Chain A
Amino acid sequence: MTTVAAHPVLGRSLDLHPQVALRPEPFGALAYHYDTRRLVFLKHPDVVRVVRELGNHDTVADTLTACDIAPVRHDAFASAISSLLDSEMLRDRTG
């Protein structure tokens, strides 16, 4: 569904780390990781929507499509999701 030079994260199956809590805020949400004690700002409501939905779809790309994120924004979302993966807010889904 994605075309040119798709970001590698788009093909992965991810979900929210079980130790992460999301709290809605006017700008989007706060994500707090109880193990690493790290706090991250999700700065757009669309990012929050996507993050909450990741576990319900096979891949990140599928999630973006299901959430009606315009293809032109997919790369930006892929970067945001990669950095959430780096900070362990998200994790690879197994099985």
Chain B
Amino acid sequence: MTALVEQLKGGLDAPICLTWELTYACNLECVHCLSSSGRRDPRELTTDEAKAVLDELHALQVFYINIGGGEPMIRRDFFELVEYSIGRGIGVKFSTNGAFIDAAKAKRLTDLDYLDIQISLDGTDAVTNDAVRGDGSYATAIRAMEHLRDAGFVERNGPFKISVVVTRHNVDQLDEFKALADSFGAQLRITRLRPSGRGADAWHDLHPTNAQQRQIYEWLLAHGEQVLTGDSFFHLNALGEENLPGLNLCGAGRVVCLIDPIGDVYACPFVIHDEFKAGNVRDAGGFARIWKQSELFTELRQPQSAGACASCGSYDACQGGCMAAKFFTGLPLDGPDPECVGGEGELALAGVASGAAPRPMADHSKPPRPVAVSLGRR
């Protein structure tokens, strides 16, 4: 354990990796959506409130923010907020499904400094992708990438990212994802599927098998620094001698946090649940007070117990895995990750009674579509 990692565990003066979901509204309804997005929340931060948060982040010297949603480009003030942020010296990386990137928007995005884009894609073919992200979403994402290419985004701003959540259905496509990214001059980013939001239900059928986890680990070792991971696969470090590149720790409340569309601040983007809510940016003292003084974040920065994993020789390598993954599968936070590569997670999961796992909160899923009823006409 390096001294630096120990320092980071004690928290930073401001987050490194701050995710800000601008809206719960989304044109898609991905089965694994970590924020259960779909419908806009009427309590969404206004443009002025959002700018006030950006002023605070500027004062805290936050270097960049990761904007997501929902689909952030749905907000009418999307460009206004992005431009305001960049004007305050806060770089923006935003995640999008690409539906609103036409030729004109691609040009506008290309002209912004300090802007980075992540296009979400979960399959290298429409069948694999659309099964998770919805009909037509593969074609939409590819079209957006073509618009960015035609606008010269990569030449001016550097590679945009293709962002993939690894599932048991797309894990065999990692090479193809890489080739697709290369063909656009883009960079591949792969992240771990969490049982968060609607993903709580989808996780059991989508998460990679144990054999596939080794496949991911080896693929990442082979591709090293060329592929981004958000340091999300550190639980795989228990598989071998060599650690994957990146910070080997859970950053929740220490280097990472989430601001949701209504201003609630959570320890990380994958724990939208009251238990991990540290406050709201509308509260007195705003974001800075939450980051520096909230009870929850202070607690997360204390040394964490290895609990049931204390006697395992791999604990230093995997750090007990992901807090969100444990929480939403009903496992104790001081025990193995549900995807523990030593198989302890599977055993632990078998002991979780059906329905015992906490349910994700703040569900903004769209209501079920009315079933088409054919009126009784003969």
Contacts and interface: CB of A to CB of B under 8 A. Distances in A.
A43 interface: yes
Given A32-B64, A43-B4, A23 B13 contact: yes
Interface in A25-56: 25-27, 30, 32, 34, 37, 39, 41, 43
B61 interface: yes
B13 A37 contact: no
A9 B16 CA distance: 30
Interface of A: 21, 23-27, 30, 32, 34, 37, 39, 41, 43
Contact of A43 (B3, B10, B89, B113): B3
B63 interface: yes
Nearest to A23: B61
Interface string B1-28: 0011001001011101000000000000
Contacts of B116: 37
Contact of A39 (B10, B16, B113): B16
A34 B91 contact: yes
Given A32-B64, A41-B4, A24 B91 contact: no
Contacts of B100: none
A32 B64 CA distance: 9
A24 B10 CA distance: 15
A21 B89 contact: yes
Contact of A21 (B10, B13, B16, B61): B61
Interface residues of B, number: 17
A37 B114 CA distance: 8
Nearest to A33: B63
B141 to A, nearest CB: 22
Nearest to B116: A37
A37 B91 contact: yes
Closest 9 CB pairs of A and B: A32-B63, A27-B7, A23-B61, A25-B12, A34-B114, A25-B13, A43-B4, A41-B4, A34-B91
B91 A26 contact: no
Contacts of B7: 25-27
Interface in B74-130: 89, 91, 113-114, 116
Nearest to B63: A32
Nearest to A30: B16
Given A32-B64, A34-B91, A27 B4 contact: yes
A37 to B, nearest CB: 7
Contacts of B12: 25-26, 30
A46 to B, nearest CB: 15
Most buried by B among A21, A32, A43: A32
B63 A39 contact: yes
A63 B63 CA distance: 27
B228 to A, nearest CB: 11
Most buried by A among B14, B63, B91, B113: B63
Contacts of B61: 21, 23
A33 to B, nearest CB: 9
Nearest to B10: A26
Contacts of B3: 27, 43
16 contacts: A21-B89, A23-B14, A23-B61, A23-B63, A24-B13, A25-B7, A26-B7, A26-B13, A27-B4, A30-B63, A32-B63, A32-B64, A34-B114, A37-B91, A41-B4, A43-B4
Contacts of B113: 34
A37 B64 contact: yes
B109 to A, nearest CB: 16
Contacts of B89: 21, 34
A37 B160 CA distance: 12
Contacts of A23: 13-14, 61, 63
B230 to A, nearest CB: 13
Given A21-B89, A30-B63, A37-B116, 11 more contacts: A21-B61, A21-B63, A25-B7, A26-B12, A27-B3, A30-B16, A32-B63, A32-B64, A34-B89, A37-B64, A37-B91
